[in-house]
Every structure is written in structure tokens, then in C-alpha cells.
């Protein structure tokens, strides 16, 4: 009979104690792995979402709000900057790329983003392929054509050629909204999944957004109601001053990419010194967000370490208690010729088996818990948790294994020192 089999039979004979110990170890490991996976995954998701975005310009207000509603499609949009101000940035000789964003409508809770075809040329780095690529269809070419994100297509069932009516506001209304019934959108393209907030966007031309909102506002700023934006983003002449439409045809935010770093910093300072707008670097906002995540992550890590410590203590108590209960059995084994080293090995093998079962259960439970929480986070927000297992997580498993073996030393030494003659006495 092998020592490993004897150790296993000892654990089976104390199945309740063994099960409780395995559960405690599994919970400790699952908590630690989930915290590491989720915190790392959230950070990766945030960084991935912001890859193609450079300096963002919007109206004065909260920098966090500007970044969150532009990149992550969360929070309420700030007030618009005027069309004239945006065009001055677009025509600035120091600017190589300007992409407008207009927010304020939704379809079944998915935000409709007014933008230009230049949006689909954005890249993470100059050598990268375009960040946004089509899975089917084409880019919008005229008003009331829409390109939808992968998640929008999946959850709404929209396909190329389908039509839909947008609702007013960035959140889905419980009441039926007929504000934009006169301007249905036609889906002309579906984006590939990029595991980022953009998967939840519905992208339309700025013309579409402006026209629908002029109708919703009873042609505010246009007494005759005949002036509509043209394909180049400027109002068509109808006998009225185009400046009257600047506010009505405003831009919620704009992505600005200058020619050089020097131009970037000059524009950043110039914009922030005016009363018209603010310029924000998403990286700065994200860095502050990571600091907040780090504080919460540290607290949760300490809690998981306490649970792991409790798991180690549980192993010590369980094995030590079983050793006290089996002193007579150990004495009989010694009398039958089993050496002290064999007895020591059996107890250490019991500890190893308990820890191994706990690690296997902890990895499985951690994967299930992380998957469930990442799905919940993705459903409740636009942030995608892009977590992956990596070798650094093995250090947690190795640490728990060493902790379990260390916990088995005390009861193993107790069994090793058991006096044979004392516990063979029937009296």
C-alpha cells in the first residue's frame, strides 16, 4: 500500500473536515485570482478603448466627463462647442486630423454618434492598420446612413439594409419616442468587434445628426427651415447668415491630432486659455482613474490575503486535529514497522493533496467568478474587461502551495514525535 494511497484514505475518512478545508482554500485563491484578473482586465480594456484617440476638445466643464462620454460612451455629454470654433481648429495649419463628435440620441440605449468618415481612419499608432474596420457593408456616404458596432448588431439584430428610428437623449426612454420618426436611419455597414466601447456605438454623418435635431428643435436658428448642413460640414446658403446656425449645428467634442508634439502642446495651451473650449489628454484622465482603481484593488488584495492566511490556518488545525485523533493509528503503524519518516510523509502528503484540490477548485471558481463579473461590468457599462491568464498568476498558486506545505509541517512533526508505546497501551 503506497503512502499516497494511505494519505488519500485518511482524507476520505474525514471527508467533512477535508471538504471544508478545500472550500476555504478555493475561496481564498478564487478571490485573489479574480481581483488580479479583473483589475488587469479593466485596465487593459480602458487602454485599448483609448488607443486611437489623441487630444479631445470640448466645451468648458469636467475633463473626466468629456473623456468618458466621448471615448467610453458613458455619462452625459457636455454642452456643444460652436461649429465655427470647430472649423477654426479643423482649418488650423498645425492640425493634420480633426474628427467631430455629436452626441445626444440613442437607439435602444446604444448611443448614436454623429461624426465624419475620417473617424474610420483612426489608428493606434501611425504604423497600425485602421482601428475601426468593417465586417460587412460600407461607410456612410449620405445623411441617415448608419454604421453600427458589433455589439449593437448582435443585441438588436440589425443587419445591412435594415432601418431604425432613433430616440432623443443618450439613455433609452421607457416611453415611446416619436421625435425623429421623419428621419429613419438605414444600416449600411457593421464594424468588426474590437472589444471596446466603440462596439456599442451607432455612427452616422454629422449632417444626419444636425438635420434630425433641427427637426426636433423646429428648425431653431433657421426661420425658413430650409437650411441644412452639406456634406462638407458647412451649412448650405439659403439667404440666411450661416453663423446663426453655429450653435444649432454645434459639435459635442472633437478629436484633434496636430502635426508635431510642439504643435500639440501649443494648441493645448491656447485652447485652455480661451473661454470657448477645453483640451484634454485622455491619458491624464485614465492615469487618475488607474490611481482610483489601484486604491480599491489594494484593499481587496489585503482582504484576499487574509482569506489565504485563514486557509493556511485551517489546514494546520485540520491536520493537527486529525493527527491527535490518529495517534493510536500512528502508533500501530510504527509498531508494524513504519518508520518516522513514513509517518511524516503521510501527513505531508495529506497537506499536499488538500492544497492541490484547493488550488484546482480555486482556479475553476476564479475563472467562473471573473467571467461572471466581467460580463456584468460589460453589461452595466461600456468598458470591456479584456482579461487574459498570464504566468504571473502562477505565483499566487505557488505561494498557496508553499503555504499549504508549511501548514502541514506542524502536524507532521507531531506525528513524527508520537511515542509508540504510550498509545499502544489499551488502558
- Quick one: which of 142, 143, 147, 111 has its CA closest to 132? 147
Per the CB < 8 A criterion, the answer to whether 191 and 150 are in contact is: yes
Residue 124 Cα distances to 52, 128, 166, angstroms = 4, 6, 30
Contacts of residue 23, Cβ cutoff 8 Å, sequence gap at least 6: 358, 361
Give the pairing of strands 110-115 and 202-205.
Answer: parallel
Per the CB < 8 A criterion, the answer to whether 277 and 271 are in contact is: yes
Distance of alpha carbon 216 from alpha carbon 210, whole angstroms: 10
Task: Write down the pLDDT at residue 42.
Answer: 78
Task: Write down the pLDDT at residue 417.
Answer: 59
Q: What are phi and psi of 260, to 5 degrees?
A: -145, 170
Task: Write down the pLDDT at residue 61.
Answer: 87
Indicate if the alpha-carbon torsion angle 161, 166, 172, 176 is positive or negative. Answer: negative
pLDDT in tens, the chain (427 residues): 577 777 787 778 778 878 888 888 888 788 878 877 887 777 777 777 788 888 999 999 888 889 888 888 887 888 889 888 999 999 999 999 999 999 888 888 899 999 999 999 998 888 888 889 999 999 999 889 999 999 999 999 999 999 998 887 766 654 555 555 677 899 999 999 988 888 889 999 998 888 877 644 433 333 223 333 434 444 433 434 444 444 457 899 999 999 898 999 999 999 999 888 999 998 888 887 777 766 776 777 777 777 777 777 777 776 666 665 555 565 656 555 555 666 667 777 877 888 888 888 888 888 888 888 887 777 666 677 766 666 666 777 777 777 767 766 666 666 555 555 555 554 4
Condensed to tens digits (0 to 9), the pLDDT of residues 35-87 reads 778 877 777 777 777 888 889 999 998 888 898 888 888 878 888 898 889 99
Distance of alpha carbon 347 from alpha carbon 373, whole angstroms: 38
- Quick one: which of 405, 279, 381 has its CA closest to 74? 381
Q: How many CB atoms lie within 10 A of CB 91?
A: 9
Amino acid at each position: 500500500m503506497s503512502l499516497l494511497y494511505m494519505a488519500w484514505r485518511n482524507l476520505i475518512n474525514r471527508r467533512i473536515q477535508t471538504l471544508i478545508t478545500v472550500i476555504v482554500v478555493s475561496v481564498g485563491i478564487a478571490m485573489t485570482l479574480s481581483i488580479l484578473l479583473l483589475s488587469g482586465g479593466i485596465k487593459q480594456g480602458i487602454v485599448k478603448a483609448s488607443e486611437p484617440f489623441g487630444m479631445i476638445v470640448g466645451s468648458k466643464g469636467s475633463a473626466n466627463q468629456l473623456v468618458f462620454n466621448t471615448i467610453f460612451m458613458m455619462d452625459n455629454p457636455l454642452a456643444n462647442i460652436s461649429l465655427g470654433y470647430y472649423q477654426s481648429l479643423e482649418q488650423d495649419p498645425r492640425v493634420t486630423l480633426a474628427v467631430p463628435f455629436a452626441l445626444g440620441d440613442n437607439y435602444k440605449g446604444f448611443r448614436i454618434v454623429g461624426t465624419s468618415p475620417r473617424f474610420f481612419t483612426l489608428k493606434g499608432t501611425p504604423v497600425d492598420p485602421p482601428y475601426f474596420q468593417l465586417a460587412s457593408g460600407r461607410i456612410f456616404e449620405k445623411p441617415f446612413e448608419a454604421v453600427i458596432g458589433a455589439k449593437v448588431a448582435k443585441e438588436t439584430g440589425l443587419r445591412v439594409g435594415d432601418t431604425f428610428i432613433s430616440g432623443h437623449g443618450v439613455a433609452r426612454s421607457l416611453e415611446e419616442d416619436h421625435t425623429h420618426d421623419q428621419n429613419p436611419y438605414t444600416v449600411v455597414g457593421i464594424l468588426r468587434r474590437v472589444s471596446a466601447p466603440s462596439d456599442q456605438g451607432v455612427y452616422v454623418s454629422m449632417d444626419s445628426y444636425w438635420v434630425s435635431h433641427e427637426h426636433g428643435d423646429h428648425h431653431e436658428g433657421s426661420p425658413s427651415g430650409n437650411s441644412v448642413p452639406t456634406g462638407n460640414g458647412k451649412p448650405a446658403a439659403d439667404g440666411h447668415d450661416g453663423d446663426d446656425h453655429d450653435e444649432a449645428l454645434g459639435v459635442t467634442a472633437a478629436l484633434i491630432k496636430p502635426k508635431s508634439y510642439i504643435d500639440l502642446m501649443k494648441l493645448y495651451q491656447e485652447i485652455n486659455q480661451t473661454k470657448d473650449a477645453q483640451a484634454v489628454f485622455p491619458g491624464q484622465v485614465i492615469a487618475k482613474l488607474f490611481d482610483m482603481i489601484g486604491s480599491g484593488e489594494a484593499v481587496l488584495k489585503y482582504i484576499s490575503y487574509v482569506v489565504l492566511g485563514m486557509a493556511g490556518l485551517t489546514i494546520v488545525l485540520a491536520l493537527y486535529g486529525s493527527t491527535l485523533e490518529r495517534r493510536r493509528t500512528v502508533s500501530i503503524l510504527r509498531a508494524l514497522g513504519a518508520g518516522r519518516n513514513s509517518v511524516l510523509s503521510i501527513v505531508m502528503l495529506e497537506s499536499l493533496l488538500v492544497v492541490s484540490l484547493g488550488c484546482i477548485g480555486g482556479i475553476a471558481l476564479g475563472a467562473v467568478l471573473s467571467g461572471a463579473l466581467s460580463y456584468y461590468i460589460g453589461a452595466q457599462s461600456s468598458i470591456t474587461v479584456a482579461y487574459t491568464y498570464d504566468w504571473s498568476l502562477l505565483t499566487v498558486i505557488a505561494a498557496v502551495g508553499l503555504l499549504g506545505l508549511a501548514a502541514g509541517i506542524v502536524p507532521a512533526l507531531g506525528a513524527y514525535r508520537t511515542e509508540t508505546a504510550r498509545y499502544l497501551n489499551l488502558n
